Structure 1
Amino acid sequence: MDRPPWENNYVKHSIGHSVRWAGVITAIAAISAMAADPVSAQTAPLATDELITPAFVMEPETALLDQEGGGKLFRIDNQRLLVMEGTPAEMGFQHGRLLAKEIRHIIKEGYMAKAFYAKGYSKEYIAAQSERMEKHFPPEYIEEMKGLVRGLEAAGVTDIAYEDIRTAVTQAEIAHHKPNEPPELNRSGAAAPAEHCSNFAVWGKWTKDGRLLHGRNLDWNIEDGAQENAILLVWRPKGGIPFMMLGWSGGIGSVSGMNAEGITIGEMTSVSSEETFDGLPLMLLMRRALEKATTLDEAVAIIEKGPRTTGWNFIIGDGKIPSARALEVDAVSCGVFGPLDPKETDRTGHWAMDDAIRRTNHPIGEAQLLKLAIRYGAQYGIDAGNLQAALPLLKMQNTWKRYDWLGKQIEARPGGMDVSEAAQLLANPPVGGPDTETLHAFICDPANKTAYVAVAGANPPVPAPLTRFVKIELANWFTRSAGASAQ
């Protein structure tokens, strides 16, 4: 029987991986001894001298392409950067006017058309679920989106509506569930945990000068062409904190970024039995943390407050301290983990590190792991209350192997981690490589207000870390005077 339209899209995120889970169920008896011997299940570290080192552009050429009021559009090497400045309405107008062609393309012909409308997601369904999330939008975000539509109209694009722009920030939640099957709290799932996205933050004894480095791969979908309309978005809100997000034309939020106060953030898809569309969508919640937080504690508190929607993991860093936290969240709970956290132990099949945090696509805390067992236990014949029985199965999964490999690679570099070494962790299997769907990657160096950004290639698609990392000195864009000199 042919695969249903929604599965062609969803398989890249999770459904297709359930086949791999089912395939190992029959092997549980043979590998059950792994629960008593966690080391035997761990991935063998690849020697550091065998790793691919990605290319870097350290002195990129910069050109001003267009401007609208306080907004300016630049090209930096192979990437584009949009600076927006002023009130929410003014920043939205600048966004719409300067990126009108790209916004129309991603909605009408590019990623949105291919990943949603061509694969079983009706406009009526998307609108209904987006309306649930919109009830939690801060008023200034609605004002900015309306300004964006006015900017489109000023550029002669009249067939993009406010509802299209709204979908650009609700898409992450919608894409992770089947069409016409929105999540409900305490409902068991039919998909296995995702096999994409990795984050790590290192500082102190691991880096050459003790400063914090935050590495992140967004493994989403490079076949449907979202990278064709990728954009670095810099907001300089009137009276607010300047911040940057790696995003896409037409979106007023995204899933990776850094602010002028040295706060960094990246997310990873996770799963839980407690998910809903009645909350602030991921892309806006992450934006909220960057535009409001001046400290690590403030950023964590914003995520804790929510209201949240579905299952996500986050890593949030602060270059000023330096330190970082991992958050494991769903609609009703938020677990916070620090370095050497006592909750990250052998009991749950994991191991904590000093001066380092890493996460992939599964929870590490016992409470969230039990929710995972509740959601999928019956599907795979596992007693939802017996966490130890499920650990051998977890350790067979790509998500656990990435978590384990990252830890071992960090431990192999005491005092030796710098930007190129961080890029190695993003570019090599099992975290990276030619078989991944890495849409964008970054290494944030918040102490120096610098980000090294890679975007997937198109025609043919190439995972982001295998293209090149471009050095973006954000101090040049976070202030008016520096921004002017960067022109």
Structure 2
Amino acid sequence: MIALFSRVFVFAFLCVTVTPIHAESNANQLGDNLQPLLSCLSGRAESFSVAVDIDVLVDDKVQHIDGRVVRFDDQSFDLDLIHSDYSVRIRRRPGATAFALPHHKTVFLGSGDVDASDQLSPLGITDRMVGSGSMLTMVMPMLQQTDSAAVGHMLTGLLKMDFNADRQHWTLRDDTSLQFHNDGKQIEINVGDQHRAALTIQDSLPEMAEVDDWADFKQVELKRQELERSIARGTRRALEILSPSRLLTSPQQKARQVPAGELRWIDGQRVVLLNGTPEQIGDAHGRLLATESQRCIDSVLYTFGTVNTIRTGRWFRHDLDAAYARLSPHIPEDHKRETLAFAKAINIDPSTAHAINVFPELFHCSGFAVSGGATKGGKLYHGRVLDYMTTIGLQDAATTFIVAVDGKHAFANIGYAGFIGSVSGMNDQAISLGEMGGHGEGQWDGVPMATLMRRALEECSTLDEVMTLWHDSPRTCEYYYVFADGKSKRAVGVAADPDSIEFIMPGQSDPRLGEGIPEVLALSSGSRLEALRERIEQRYGEIDVEAAQWLMSRPVAMKSNLHNVLFIPEDGVFYVANATHHAPAAEQPYARFNLTELLQSMPR
């Protein structure tokens, strides 16, 4: 559902600004065909109506969407997107905005002021919706041209489109074709056999309805600033995710230093070293990763948040704030101080920073630990596979943190800019941790999973201490874990929810995991668990670094595989692979990190 609405919502909402990317070709004829659409894009047509009919292939299933964009004037528009399962309608007027969800019979209404940049006024919306992180910035000057002939020639030269006289359509590469009808007022677009869109520029406008005219709908009042910011930032970030520029796919690998922090690049991966008080660490985190943190926040709060609101009928930020209110009493005060310093450093509201840090309550994954007779030389290998929504672009914020808080154990935290909790980590006491999400979303009267993980890294020196921390702490939701201790070469699997906790030892049989394999823990589910077990048995006694990384390859890792980590805690070494926009982490090279050496290089 996220993939569908990330593509279709952005396409339909901005169809009058991005469609020419597909409709570009070469000649005066193309310019003539584009003239009606360019009239809308350039602002020459103050008002217009464009109907869209879209078939898009998502997860091997064709999804059909009917849509319409109507611009009434510089301040007012309507947007309708109708799908069999999820639909949205937006009405914007000079003094108010409505975001309606017909399937849920709910409308969110906002009135009052809006941000200068993060708002939905039709006037100048193209410049606000397309940021530097999207490839669309390269074609924006052409899209805003008033001379259609010049645009036709520019697009022809750049995209090399050809006109097929026999079929009377334009072709781009081998898989994209376009046809124009009714003097350019109708455009048909086909991308292979997978995606199809038809646009119709209509001659007349529908009647402009009142912004609050929603009979039989439940009305939820919001601040208009919050409503428009969510849609604007979510759309802008979605365009970066769907069409990333080199700023995201090939970021500049430039080292930086600030008080209490340093940014390095190791084998193309972002590494941030932080040390000092919670306030110093939070400040350095924000100053070194301000841009990446904001992209991460936009992905979670606004792109995912908008889609989740459409899916559930509830305002996502309200859900997140409600979760934080219940989780907050169980979060250590020094973690809150660090979060406040981070929020101040990147100039965001503290409540936003707090809310974003409970988002990992939704992660889902796989993990294993193998040692003794299962491995070469009896070494302990602990692998963790994080499978979680690469579709919302968290990979743009992927960061390995090396953190040394005054008076606590130092640790490596494989995570994302803006998050201070942990989902994958290892400390200087040779303790490594990985989690796997289960069910029970909404059971939030306990310590957030990511907070508990970080506390273990900061506070625990032995596997027994980690187990005691989990046993004695109030817990949330349903989670599974693999914990390991390189000093004793011991590992343990954990199944925990708010009411119960169970420790699973290597080699132990379990109805959820199958017959035990000596000196092996293998936690996953379904076919992924079967594949993991088969691979372990195939390489039993021969598992080394290369084989352990192979254990985490597809299909043990899902298409949504965000990062993989292989811990060798007794050596203080770990390997990390991160997803890109085009491939899961399991298909990317691993970077090697030595925690001991990194800590020794850090000024303390």
- Scaled by the length of structure 1, the TM-score of the pair is 0.69
Q: Does the 8 A contact of 1:275 with 1:331 survive in 2?
A: no
Q: Take 1:412 and 1:201, find their aligned partners in 2: how far apart are those partners?
A: 15
Residue from 286, 290, 294 that aligns with 1:104:
294
Q: Does the 8 A contact of 1:328 with 1:336 survive in 2?
A: yes
SS at match of 1:477: helix
SS at match of 2:403: strand
Q: Take 1:118 and 1:402, find their aligned partners in 2: how far apart are those partners?
A: 28
Equivalent residue number for residue 94 of structure 1: 284
Query: Which structure shows the bigger proportion of residues in strand conformation?
Result: 2
Equivalent residue number for residue 244 of structure 1: 412
SS at match of 2:330: coil
Q: Does the 8 A contact of 2:300 with 2:356 survive in 1?
A: no
Equivalent residue number for residue 18 of structure 1: none
Residue from 487, 490, 495 that aligns with 1:328:
495
Change (3 A) 1:348 1:197: closer
Q: Does the 8 A contact of 1:169 with 1:281 survive in 2?
A: no
Equivalent residue number for residue 469 of structure 2: 302
Equivalent residue number for residue 602 of structure 2: 483
Change (3 A) 1:125 1:414: closer
Q: Take 1:271 and 1:350, find their aligned partners in 2: how far apart are those partners?
A: 20
Instruction: Write the mapping of 1:376-455 to structure 2, written as runs, cut at 5 A.
Output: 399-429=525-555, 431-432=556-557, 436-455=559-578
Equivalent residue number for residue 71 of structure 1: 261
Q: Take 2:280 and 2:491, find their aligned partners in 1: how far apart are those partners?
A: 34
Q: Take 1:476 and 1:144, find their aligned partners in 2: how far apart are those partners?
A: 25
The C-alpha deviation readout for 1:181-233, integer Å capped at 9, x for no partner, is: xxxxxxxxxxxxxxx52100001111111111111110001111000011111
SS at match of 1:135: helix
Relative contact order (C-alpha < 8 Å, sep 6+): which is higher? Answer: 1
Change (3 A) 1:93 1:484: closer
Q: Take 1:294 and 1:4, find their aligned partners in 2: how far apart are those partners?
A: 49
Q: Does the 8 A contact of 1:275 with 1:330 survive in 2?
A: no
Residue from 305, 308, 311 that aligns with 1:119:
308
Equivalent residue number for residue 215 of structure 1: 383
Equivalent residue number for residue 593 of structure 2: 472
Change (3 A) 1:427 1:349: closer
Q: Does the 8 A contact of 1:439 with 1:455 survive in 2?
A: yes
Q: Does the 8 A contact of 1:257 with 1:265 survive in 2?
A: yes
Q: Take 1:232 and 1:5, find their aligned partners in 2: how far apart are those partners?
A: 39
Bigger Cα Rg:
2
Equivalent residue number for residue 226 of structure 2: none
Q: Does the 8 A contact of 2:513 with 2:522 survive in 1?
A: no
Residue from 81, 84, 89 that aligns with 1:2:
84
Change (3 A) 1:97 1:349: closer
Equivalent residue number for residue 236 of structure 2: none
- 1:117 positional shift: 3.4
Gaps of 5+ in 1: 7-61, 153-157, 177-195, 361-398
SS at match of 2:602: helix
Give percent identity, aligned residues only: 31
- 1:276 positional shift: 1.2
The C-alpha deviation readout for 1:99-119, integer Å capped at 9, x for no partner, is: 1121122223x3432112343
The C-alpha deviation readout for 1:385-428, integer Å capped at 9, x for no partner, is: xxxxxxxxxxxxxx233223322321222321011101111113
Equivalent residue number for residue 388 of structure 1: none
Residue from 347, 350, 355 that aligns with 2:514:
350
Residue from 320, 323, 335 that aligns with 1:129:
323
Residue from 314, 318, 332 that aligns with 2:481:
314
Residue from 452, 455, 460 that aligns with 1:285:
452
- 1:63 positional shift: 7.3
- 1:326 positional shift: 0.4
Indicate whether 1:253 and 2:253 are aligned: no
- 1:484 positional shift: 6.2
- 1:348 positional shift: 5.8
Equivalent residue number for residue 179 of structure 1: none
Q: Does the 8 A contact of 1:261 with 1:295 survive in 2?
A: yes
SS at match of 2:377: coil
Amino acid of the structure 2 residue aligned with 1:172:
P
Gaps of 5+ in 2: 1-82, 89-251, 310-314
SS at match of 1:468: coil
Amino acid of the structure 2 residue aligned with 1:278:
D
SS at match of 1:483: coil
Amino acid of the structure 2 residue aligned with 1:400:
G
Equivalent residue number for residue 169 of structure 1: 357
Q: Does the 8 A contact of 2:323 with 2:442 survive in 1?
A: no
Q: Take 2:542 and 2:301, find their aligned partners in 1: how far apart are those partners?
A: 42
Q: Does the 8 A contact of 1:63 with 1:76 survive in 2?
A: no
The C-alpha deviation readout for 1:370-394, integer Å capped at 9, x for no partner, is: xxxxxxxxxxxxxxxxxxxxxxxxx
- Scaled by the length of structure 2, the TM-score of the pair is 0.56
Q: Does the 8 A contact of 2:264 with 2:272 survive in 1?
A: yes
Residue from 130, 135, 139 that aligns with 2:333:
139
- 1:275 positional shift: 6.1
The runs of at least 4 aligned residues of structure 1 exceeding 6 Å deviation read none
